[in-house]
Structures are given as structure tokens and as C-alpha cells.
Structure 1
Amino acid sequence: KMINGGGIALLGILPNGTGIDWDDVVFKGLRIKGIYGREIFETWYKCTMMYQSGLPLEKIITHRFHYSDFQQGFDVMRSGESGKVVLSWE
């Protein structure tokens, strides 16, 4: 549950059927922001700040795939059972 005046940034693709309690959004004055890559410099800044604060970013990455297995990576994202999915060229 969100607190009054709280905000959430949705990063990535949500699974089908993900519900939103619009009563909570309206009556608690919540802010929802979708992030899809257009604010890259702001994203870099925020990631740097999170890293410097000690947030364990490695826990956000739940799956790693070789780039040739990109379809498997997208399938995992669409399933809703992942955090950050990373493709590697190594």
C-alpha cells in the first residue's frame, strides 16, 4: 500500500492483468510515472545516487542472457516474474 502523497515509478513492462486501485490513486493523491528510456540522463543520475547510497543494485538484476537469447529475455520480462533483465555481448 502507498502512503498519502506517495509516488511510484514503473520501469519496464508490467504483466497482463496488472490492476491499479484507482480509488487509492485519487484519494491518496498518488503520483504514477512510467519510465521507458527517454529520460536517460536523469536515470543515470538517480542510479548513481542509489549506488552511492549503498543500495545493492545487483539484487535488482534477476536475469542475465547472452544477446543471442534475447527472445528468452523478453519472454521473462513479459511473464512479470523478473526484475531487471540484462543482455550480455560477452
Structure 2
Amino acid sequence: IRSVHFEPGEMPGLDQWKEFDELLEQYTSPIMLWEDEPIPEIKEILNEKGVRAMVFNPCGNKTAGVDFIEMMKKNIQTLQNSISY
């Protein structure tokens, strides 16, 4: 597992994409976890690189009507679906 800091609502800069490409050369992974849904432009670039964006909500910010345990169950289901894809 490697970590990069991309904001889901902001397109990463060229330097960030370059660093990401270097990571992909060393550590191939078909999945990138996000705290929130990334913008379509980011998802498109990731798809071109063979990487799928998957949302794993850590519940860092309280969301109205969302129970922590239920969100973690949803996260587990998302992870299970992504590895059996």
C-alpha cells in the first residue's frame, strides 16, 4: 500500500501525476481508495492508467443520517466488490 494525497475535488498538478506514475511503475495496483468521490476528470485519467477509484469513507466528518457502523459496513462491501471485480 502506498499513499498519495490527492483531493477528490481538485485536479492534481503535473508534478503529482508524475509522482503517481512513478509509484505505479514500482507498485502496480488496480485500485485507489478515496475518502470521497473524485471528480470525473480524475477518474478518467485513472481509468486510462488502469486504476479504478473506490470510495472508502472514514467518517472523518459527521454526515447527517449516516451511522458510523453502517458506513463501515458499506466500506467493507465496497472493498469486497472491488477485489472480486
Same fold, TM exceeding 0.5?
no
User: With CA pairs under 8 Å and 6+ residues apart, which has the higher RCO, 1 or 2?
Assistant: 1
Superposition TM-score, scaled by structure 2 size: 0.28
Structure with a larger share of its residues in helix: 2
Larger C-alpha radius of gyration, 1 or 2?
A: 1
Superposition TM-score, scaled by structure 1 size: 0.27
Structure with a larger share of its residues in strand: 1
